[in-house]
Amino acid sequence: MALIRIEPVRDERSGRYFLEIYNPHDAEAPFVTTQPRYGSAAAAENDLVAILASAASAPRA
């Protein structure tokens, strides 16, 4: 089973949050980094959960 690590990070310039996603979970550098568009760390994490849930529940072709 693959494990990932998700870390919300505050962008000092904008004051907004972005996510760093590490795959595998113990990687030194992020695999994916989002844009700093979230007002809080919790909002960033909740959006990612919603995106994953939507993708997981979509019908497969």
pLDDT digits (tens, 9 = 90+) for 3-35: 999 999 999 999 999 999 999 999 999 999 999
Cα(58)–Cα(56) distance, integer angstroms: 6
pLDDT tens-place string over residues 37-48:
999 999 999 999
Cα(18)–Cα(12) distance, integer angstroms: 11
Please give the residue range of the domain that contains residue 35.
Answer: 5-57
Cα(49)–Cα(8) distance, integer angstroms: 13
**Total domains in the fold of the chain:** 1
pTM above 0.75, yes or no: yes
Q: Is the pLDDT of residue 2 over 90?
A: no
